[in-house]
């Protein structure tokens, strides 16, 4: 029988190669329909009414004028009078009308009376937040006071990352359509299999079986699209009331105001070392906001480099900046920036190369110490670190200062629950079906590659069915858990299906099923090129009955997948000390993720993470007006995303081969987005000789830092 375990990578014809994504042509031809693109017959358009206040009580809502507006077919109250709203953009009501323009007009005519309540939209100081704080954690390991006393060099600093948003290009939203009691939702979601249950819990549908979620492709989630969301429920209710399909997608301002805010994190850090660079002790007071209800949790710092003697205190600030949602690698970029900046400042004080300091203390990284060491070496080679590095403060004349920075990171990435049905038809066609979704990460392609590899077929011979809640249930795509989950279930399902086929075929080849293999579009006796039949001939032996193999990602230890990756990044920047502008000239990302299924889409994940990292390092900040509690940049003019010309060269190197491949598949989406902030901040400090304490590294902050500490 065919073995479900991964074949050695040198025996693979597809796994580990650079393969173009299966849905690439659908996307780049503009033909595939995203949720936003779905136009159903007789469809209405929905628009939301949202709070203009950061904190208020809804006193009354009068929808009578709106209901009389042309084209209006249904109105829905989303926040009942008496309830509070907690941020500008908090949804209050929704309306559905014949055209988008009519819906927008009608939304403006819904009269909402608010009682304004005090708000807090500043997270920069827990002292000033008064009662709006909550101490989340205090932990002491070892004896940090003694360790810091014994340290020969101490560095103290303050570092931080503000609230940013997800800014998915496809806004949150959906089309909802009823047919009797059956509801179809074309949702832009990271959780196809989870939404039917939500509709039942909200008492919108009476059974999850009657809800079908369709998401063939989706335009970005980054952790903000796990739920049906209040607007998803409202859309289904509007559609029910109107008896017609309704499309309701957030407008860009709502997307930035209400559809996810990454928690901020700031810290005052004291860290000490011996003169040889051995890290001794750590003490930090950190704080940040996870919205009005303290989401986000306490940081685990120092990050990656586990200094044994440490004391950490964390306070959460309850603010009305916006609703916290998971953002690609929740908490990690913040913890990484705080830790790696503090270590970099300490290295500068010691007059030590920061890469050397990391290598010196590499055992503190634990199990992955060897991986980190190898990754730092590879990154240094690709950056030409040794040749380019200089002590803090670029001494060369002229206003442009150059600098290098380094950072390391980690992530889990164990596969989530996953179920796959793999079917072989008598005509030879093969399909793999899972209630999963492809966020643009390459999930569909990975499933196709594994199925085709298992059957010994070309990729084109396989159909991948995902993005439909009617397929076997699968996990939500978050935390880099998808690739592990679907790889395991798909490989098991495909192997199970193939084994059924081998049993059918064995007699005609006068062999036992065990002696057969599927390779090059044939079923053949292992090692005997002559005794073979084509895939089509083999499948024809099924008569009229297709076969289906069922695969499930194993709970607990699953020998096809594992978890825990490292990763090292190095940045080279140019800083214009006259204008304060930072340019990332080069970013090197060295990343491991166990067995790589598709090298092309894997590398794309890392390239993309680097660019997303450059964006939050240099541009992103949800800017709030303290007086009014409003967000001042809920648009793409002032909520800046990096463009194609906003960075130099990016070098990606995947750690593969012996020592990596045999670990099985591990998630990749999160880890490479963690280090850019720290690596770039450290590079700027190295260039200009002084730390810019918080991201984003905007010109005003760079000039401010230069003013405080002149270029060395």
Partner 1 sequence: MAKLEDPKDPEHSRKSESRKKPGLGRRDFVKLVGGTGVAATAQVLSGHKLDAAATTVPEEVLGSGKVIGPGPVPMTLRINGQARKLTVEPRVTLLDALRNHLDLTGAKKVCDRGTCGACTIIVNGKPTYSCSVLAIEVADRDGKPGAEIRTIEGLAPEGKLHPVSGAFVENDAQQCGFCTPGFVMSCTAYLETHRSPTLEAVKQALGGNLCRCGTYVGVRNAVVEAAMSMKGGRA
Residues numbered 96 to 115 that lie near partner 1 (CB under 8 A) are: 99-101, 104-105, 108-109, 111
Binding residues for partner 1, rule CB under 8 A, total: 74
Q: Binding to partner 1 by residue 21, rule CB under 8 A?
A: yes
Q: Binding to partner 1 by residue 218, rule CB under 8 A?
A: yes
d(CA 612, CA 696): 12
CB of 285 to partner 1, least distance (A): 33
CB of 323 to partner 1, least distance (A): 19
Could you list the beta-strand ranges (E) of 208-325: 211-214, 246-249, 261-262, 265-273, 279-289, 309-317
And the tokens for 176?
């909802």
User: Quick one: how far is CA 623 from the chain centroid?
Assistant: 22
- The correct pick among 628, 663, 701, 704 for binding partner 1 (CB under 8 A) is 628
Our CB check for partner 1 shows the closer of 4 and 639 to be 639
| Residues 248-287 within binding reach of partner 1 (CB under 8 A) | 249, 251-252
Question: Which helix (H) or strand (E) element contains residue 177?
Answer: strand 173-179
Our CB check for partner 1 shows the closer of 176 and 368 to be 176
Our CB check for partner 1 shows the closer of 424 and 447 to be 447
Q: Binding to partner 1 by residue 579, rule CB under 8 A?
A: no
Alpha-carbon Rg for the chain, nearest whole angstrom, is: 27
| Residues 651-680 within binding reach of partner 1 (CB under 8 A) | none
> Given the rule CB under 8 A, which of 206-214, 344-352, 633-641, 677-685 is the region that contacts partner 1?
633-641
Q: Binding to partner 1 by residue 574, rule CB under 8 A?
A: no
Sign of CA dihedral 307, 673, 383, 681: negative
Q: Binding to partner 1 by residue 470, rule CB under 8 A?
A: no
- Contact predicate 334/299, CB 8 Å: yes
- The correct pick among 1, 13, 24, 521 for binding partner 1 (CB under 8 A) is 24
Q: Binding to partner 1 by residue 325, rule CB under 8 A?
A: no
Q: Binding to partner 1 by residue 17, rule CB under 8 A?
A: no
> Given the rule CB under 8 A, which of 93-101, 371-379, 389-397, 421-429 is the region that contacts partner 1?
93-101
| Residues 400-439 within binding reach of partner 1 (CB under 8 A) | 439
d(CA 151, CA 158): 20
CB of 37 to partner 1, least distance (A): 4
CB of 629 to partner 1, least distance (A): 8
- The correct pick among 7, 25, 243, 659 for binding partner 1 (CB under 8 A) is 25
Q: Show the DSSP H helices in 75-123 as ranges.
A: 100-108
Q: Binding to partner 1 by residue 59, rule CB under 8 A?
A: no
Residue 140 has a CB neighbour count (10 Å cut-off) of 13
Residue 706 has a CB neighbour count (10 Å cut-off) of 19
Q: Binding to partner 1 by residue 84, rule CB under 8 A?
A: no
Q: Show the DSSP H helices in 73-125 as ranges.
A: 100-108
d(CA 623, CA 424): 54
Closest CA to 317 of 163, 122, 55: 122
> Given the rule CB under 8 A, which of 34-42, 416-424, 486-494, 572-580 is the region that contacts partner 1?
34-42
- The correct pick among 463, 607, 623, 656 for binding partner 1 (CB under 8 A) is 607
In terms of phi and psi (left: phi > 0; alpha: psi -120 to 50; beta: otherwise), the region of 520 is left
- The correct pick among 5, 7, 11, 20 for binding partner 1 (CB under 8 A) is 20
Query: For residue 441, what are the CA distances in angstroms to 220, 460, 600, 666?
Result: 10, 19, 11, 14
Our CB check for partner 1 shows the closer of 421 and 605 to be 605
Find where tokens 């086929």 sit.
501
Q: Binding to partner 1 by residue 615, rule CB under 8 A?
A: yes
- The correct pick among 533, 650, 703, 711 for binding partner 1 (CB under 8 A) is 650
d(CA 632, CA 618): 18
Q: Binding to partner 1 by residue 624, rule CB under 8 A?
A: no
Q: Binding to partner 1 by residue 39, rule CB under 8 A?
A: yes
- What b-and-e string marks burial along 469-504, b requiring 16 or more CB atoms within 10 Å of the CB? bebbbbbbbbbbbbbbbbbbbbbbbbbbbbbbbbeb
| Residues 439-468 within binding reach of partner 1 (CB under 8 A) | 439-441
CB of 24 to partner 1, least distance (A): 4
């Amino acid at each position: 029988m065919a073995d479900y375990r991964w074949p050695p990578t040198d025996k693979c014809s597809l796994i580990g190669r650079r393969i173009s994504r299966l849905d690439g042509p659908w996307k780049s031809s503009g033909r595939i329909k995203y949720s936003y693109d779905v136009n159903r017959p007789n469809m209405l358009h929905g628009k939301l009414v949202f709070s203009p206040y950061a904190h208020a009580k809804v006193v009354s809502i009068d929808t009578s004028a709106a209901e009389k507006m042309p084209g209006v077919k249904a109105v829905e109250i989303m926040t009942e009078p008496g309830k509070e709203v907690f941020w500008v953009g908090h949804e209050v009501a929704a309306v559905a009308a014949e055209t988008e323009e009519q819906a927008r007009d009608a939304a403006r005519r819904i009269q909402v009376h608010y009682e304004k309540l005090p708000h807090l939209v500043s997270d920069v100081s827990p002292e000033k937040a008064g009662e709006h704080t909550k101490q989340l954690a205090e932990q002491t390991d070892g004896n940090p006071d003694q360790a810091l006393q014994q340290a020969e060099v101490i560095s103290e600093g303050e570092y931080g990352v503000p609230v940013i948003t997800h800014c998915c290009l496809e806004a949150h939203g959906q089309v909802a359509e009823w047919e009797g009691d059956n509801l179809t939702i074309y949702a832009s979601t990271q959780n196809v299999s989870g939404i039917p249950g939500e509709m039942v819990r909200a008492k919108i549908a009476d059974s999850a079986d009657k809800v079908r979620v369709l998401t063939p492709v989706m335009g970005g989630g980054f952790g903000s699209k796990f739920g049906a969301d209040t607007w998803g429920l409202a859309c289904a209710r509007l559609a029910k009331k109107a008896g017609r399909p309704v499309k309701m997608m957030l407008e860009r301002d709502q997307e930035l105001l209400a559809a996810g805010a990454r928690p901020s994190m700031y810290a005052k850090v004291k860290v000490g070392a011996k003169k040889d660079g051995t890290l001794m002790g750590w003490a930090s007071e950190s704080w940040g906001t996870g919205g009005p209800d303290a989401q986000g949790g306490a940081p685990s710092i120092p990050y990656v480099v586990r200094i044994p003697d440490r004391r950490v205190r964390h306070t959460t600030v309850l603010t009305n900046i916006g609703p916290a949602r998971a953002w690609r690698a929740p908490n990690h970029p913040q913890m990484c920036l705080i830790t790696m900046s503090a270590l970099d400042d300490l290295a500068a004080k010691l007059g030590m190369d920061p890469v050397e300091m990391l290598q010196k203390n590499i055992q503190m990284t634990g199990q992955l110490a060897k991986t980190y060491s190898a990754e730092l070496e590879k990154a240094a080679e690709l950056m030409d670190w040794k040749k380019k590095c200089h002590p803090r403060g670029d001494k060369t004349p002229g206003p442009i200062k150059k600098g290098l920075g380094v950072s390391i990171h980690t992530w889990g990435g164990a596969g989530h629950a996953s179920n796959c049905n793999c079917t072989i038809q008598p005509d030879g066609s093969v399909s793999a079906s899972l209630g999963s979704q492809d966020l643009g990460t390459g999930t569909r392609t990975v499933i196709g590659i594994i199925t085709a590899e298992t059957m010994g077929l070309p990729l084109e011979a396989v159909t991948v069915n995902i993005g439909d809640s009617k397929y076997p249930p699968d996990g939500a795509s978050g935390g880099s858990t998808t690739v592990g989950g679907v790889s395991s279930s798909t490989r098991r399902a495909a192997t199970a299906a193939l084994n059924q086929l081998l049993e059918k075929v064995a007699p005609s080849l006068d062999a036992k099923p065990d002696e057969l293999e599927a390779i090059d579009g044939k079923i053949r006796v292992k090692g005997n090129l002559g005794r073979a039949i084509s895939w089509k001939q083999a499948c024809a032996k099924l008569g009229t009955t297709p076969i289906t193999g069922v695969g499930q990602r194993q709970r607990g230890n699953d020998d096809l997948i594992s978890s825990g990756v490292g990763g090292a990044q190095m940045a080279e920047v140019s800083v214009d000390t006259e204008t304060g502008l930072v340019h990332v000239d080069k970013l090197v990302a060295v990343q491991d993720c166990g067995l790589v299924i598709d090298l092309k889409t894997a590398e794309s994940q890392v390239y993309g993470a680097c660019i997303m990292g450059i964006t939050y390092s240099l541009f992103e900040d949800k800017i709030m007006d303290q007086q009014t509690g409003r967000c001042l940049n809920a648009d793409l003019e002032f909520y800046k995303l990096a463009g194609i010309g906003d960075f130099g060269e990016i070098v990606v190197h995947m750690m593969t081969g012996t020592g990596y491949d045999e670990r099985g598949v591990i998630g990749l989406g999160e880890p490479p987005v963690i280090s850019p902030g720290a690596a770039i901040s450290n590079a700027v400090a190295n260039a200009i000789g002084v730390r810019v304490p918080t991201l984003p590294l905007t010109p005003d902050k760079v000039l401010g830092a230069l003013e405080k500490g002149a270029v060395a």
